[in-house]
Amino acid sequence: MREEKYKHRVCVSIARETVEQGLAVARGVSSLADVIEIRLDALQRIEVAPFITQLANPLLFTNRPIWEGGAFAGDEEVRIAPLLEAASQGAHYVDLELKAPDSSHQALLEMTNTTSCQLILSWHNFQDTPSKVELVGRLAMIQDKGAHIAKIVTMAHDFHDVLRVLSLQEEAARMDIPLIAFCMGQPGVISRVATVELGGYMTYCAVSESEATAPGQLSVAVLRQIDGLMTVGGEGC
């Protein structure tokens, strides 16, 4: 059932080459992050346990393949293995691509359905933003796959694209599935802030502007500053 108020709203994405670097950066932003995403595909040597045992924040593990904008280029079974480990060892979330093989979907669904870990099924379009009909179709496909949370991210070229993606929250509410949805690119920056105020499950940000893992991604410091300005109460216009 769709939650009334989501506990986790700001996810800081960390993509470092070593576990030691990743842990150090994660500790540095822990007070600003509701969730920390560990981009396993950025690691020279993939390890899951150190993050789970040494970090207190809720963790999201992603091992993004090159065919969806990531860095992992190996065998699919090898790619999925650390996600299965993370789900079984206490991770709050694991991310899997909608376009991943059915065997990967089945394996992670079986694992997450027997643990407290939630499966995020994601779909990214790095070129443009499709029509509303196609976007709703993607959302329906994600739900049909059994995802606990849906994620749809597109490239925005103008405000029409941004509004189309943000309006998906209405459809997600009707379908009763939590949805992460915003746009990449300069026109999409506002959607990264607005999405959580419009029913979105979570938004993503970077440790710093120079470490953004997607076009238009804000730093966590800037996002929190904006969030603080938006929550200041006041009367009048």
Q: What is the DSSP annotation of 59-96?
A: EEEE--BGGGTSSB-S-HHHHHHHHHHHHHHT-SEEEE
Q: Which residue has the tokens 């999405």?
A: 195
pLDDT, tens only, 98-111:
999 999 999 999 99
Share of the chain above pLDDT 70, in %: 93
Q: Which of 25-34, 94-103, 109-118, 201-210 has the lowest mean pLDDT?
A: 201-210
Residue 6, Ramachandran bin (φ over 0: left; ψ between -120 and 50: alpha; else beta)? beta
| Residue 225 parent element (H or E) | helix 220-230
pLDDT, tens only, 175-220:
999 999 999 999 999 999 999 989 999 999 999 877 776 777 899 9
Neighbours of 8 (CB within 10 A): 16
Q: Coil, strand or helix: which one is 198?
A: coil
Question: Given this model, what pLDDT does residue 210 score?
Answer: 75
Residues classed as catalytic: 124, 151
CB contact at 8 A, 19 and 47: yes
Question: Given this model, what pLDDT does residue 40 score?
Answer: 98
Q: Is the pLDDT of residue 5 over 90?
A: no
What's the sign of the alpha-carbon dihedral 9, 127, 166, 138? negative
pLDDT, tens only, 226-235:
877 776 554 4
The highest-level CATH class for domain 10-230 is: alpha beta
Question: Given this model, what pLDDT does residue 1 score?
Answer: 30
Q: How far is CA 13 from CA 136, 195, 212, in A?
A: 26, 17, 8
- Say what the pTM is: 0.92
Question: Given this model, what pLDDT does residue 207 score?
Answer: 93
